Structure 1
């Protein structure tokens, strides 16, 4: 069967793209090596933070705001609660780029932001103990996305609009000739007018088949849930958080319906081969000791480790995204290298990818995410 578009990788970005393409009437095939949502990539673990005043750079703010709008739309269409407005507390030294970007982007885009010294943070959230030299930037309109439920929602809608989703299927070969894309799996071949590659840690291997070698580095990451005092850390009273400390960058989530306080480390991690089994949580001593030390320093009213999980980041050298058309094929769109801060944007990235395929351009400014920056 001939398709208008084939999407390789039906995780966060790919599933959203599949929804928008099928909604716009494109005959769409999504292929995934597993069965999304799954725990083999970068989109599992129940929750993701969505921040609006963005510490990683002001160029992300319009995307974050559009993404939030699209998540709100998805809630309305499906009738599901996918976003929890817990607020997000960003903590760090006042003069760091991260904190200064948050403050400046809130002013530029007129975003609500409450700047607190350490004593004010400790008073407002008694579960936190900040040293004097840190400040907190609290975004009241930000919060938490239920990541796996978001993907399930996009999957259901894509299928309702006629998309075909082929799961547990690996792509063995792909080629582009005369503006036609050919994809081969173990036992089938598919043709399409256009292609989207959004395969996370596997994108590098796939794109090398189209003579494109991107500087992508898959990294093993861990995160865990801890028993915690529910009166201090429940999601109605305690925010999601991001801490840039002198020992590393950490993020986390309040306890949702008794789940426990969830925390992970954003920086660090070991380079891995996604084709090989990843070492499970706890197989490295620092998996637990690092997170426990963070909690001891800043959130001391937490208790025993409940359980932990592993996932993957796919890092670019500058830790900014890749969202672009293939340099040699205008009918191939690419989304990769989300470097551990991409999920919140997957709604808008899906829309961008569908626009790139349909019209060759996007209303969003994706110049900072060009492949050409690596030349």
Structure 2
């Protein structure tokens, strides 16, 4: 079969656009196809900002990837005409015994990361906008901060095209056919062939992979974030960090106010199961869109619990064990798969893009991605929590 391209990337969002940049930079003839026009509001990368943490409560295996991701984001900021990263620091807190906070601390020690350990009184004094009760603790990572997510996508897009990548926007993929030595990708206007393919279709990944003979348990959920009026003397980004929180009511994440926009807050551990074609993207139609996060602010950051300025709805796509899928297709080594990143994946988009380019061009990667195996037992047979 003749080949139009070396690699075609289906889904040019966070991971796909980064992969397109690294592929094209290495001289691979690259085609990126997206159903929308990235950056856009139909997936999981909109809403302006994302946290990047290095000390990692989800598992210390992520730390080397987080460190490499930070290096690559810094490189992108030097190369691009966009603001990519702002070092606000990141604060985590929760009650004594929080497994999430304990793992973040343990990961920092294992990799010698800079991390300040603080009790509730120290946190309340250092950031008067927070009011923690006795028995809480926290950790502050001064070298972490915030990524401007839409700027990141835009920068990778501009640089990929500069390196001669072809980008098709507003072009849904209708079908993918696999062959021994390549693939064909059908759109409503044309069919393209390539030696290799990268599947990074976000909430549509489950459907795409099913057509390639894979049953991967990927669950899209509708999620929201809200911006709240807040006192700039307490919560502006030059005085207040990004934060992640594991408290009895849930797991939350938030951002300081940038240029008076207000504190932005979201929640990890809730969300309505949905499908991307049917998700309601209108913010505020459900009481919990604002109610869950407002309750958190009233408890722990009452001075930030002003009126809500605005909100956004997006889609998370997660696996049962909440770890990513980054691997080659078990039967077709020229198919590279990247899925299940939502909740904590955006910060890794730079390094995952590098990984995907290596898998596509070389069939292997220098990075340890064993945790993200497509055949891992935890993916297909998740453990049931003990009551």
TM score, norm. by length of structure 1: 0.99
* Structure-to-structure mapping, 1:170-319, within 5 angstroms: 170-302=172-304, 303-319=306-322
| Alpha-carbon distance, 1:80 to partner | 3.2
What 5-or-longer segments of structure 2 have no aligned partner? 381-387
| Alpha-carbon distance, 1:179 to partner | 1.7
Aligned residues: 375
Rounded Cα–Cα distance in structure 1 between residues aligned with 2:194 and 2:112 = 44
Rounded Cα–Cα distance in structure 1 between residues aligned with 2:82 and 2:186 = 36
Contact 2:9 2:30 in 1 (8 A): yes
What 5-or-longer segments of structure 1 have no aligned partner? none
1:219-272: CA deviations, max 9, x gaps?
000001011000100001000000111000110000001111100011111110
2:352 to 344, 349, 352: 349
1:117-141: CA deviations, max 9, x gaps?
0010000000001111211100000
| Alpha-carbon distance, 1:90 to partner | 0.4
Contact 1:6 1:28 in 2 (8 A): yes
| Alpha-carbon distance, 1:279 to partner | 4.5
| Alpha-carbon distance, 1:306 to partner | 0.5
| Alpha-carbon distance, 1:79 to partner | 4.7
- Which residue is 2:143 aligned to? 141
Contact 1:320 1:339 in 2 (8 A): no
Q: Is residue 370 from structure 1 mapped to residue 369 from structure 2 by the alignment?
A: no
- Which residue is 2:54 aligned to? 52
2:343 to 330, 335, 340: 340
1:228 match: secondary structure: coil
1:112 to 111, 114, 119: 114
2:93 match: secondary structure: strand
| Alpha-carbon distance, 1:154 to partner | 0.3
Rounded Cα–Cα distance in structure 1 between residues aligned with 2:83 and 2:283 = 29
| Alpha-carbon distance, 1:323 to partner | 0.5
Rounded Cα–Cα distance in structure 1 between residues aligned with 2:133 and 2:314 = 31
- Which residue is 2:82 aligned to? 80
2:192 match: secondary structure: strand
TM score, norm. by length of structure 2: 0.96
1:21 to 2, 23, 38: 23
Rounded Cα–Cα distance in structure 1 between residues aligned with 2:128 and 2:226 = 22
Rounded Cα–Cα distance in structure 1 between residues aligned with 2:110 and 2:97 = 18
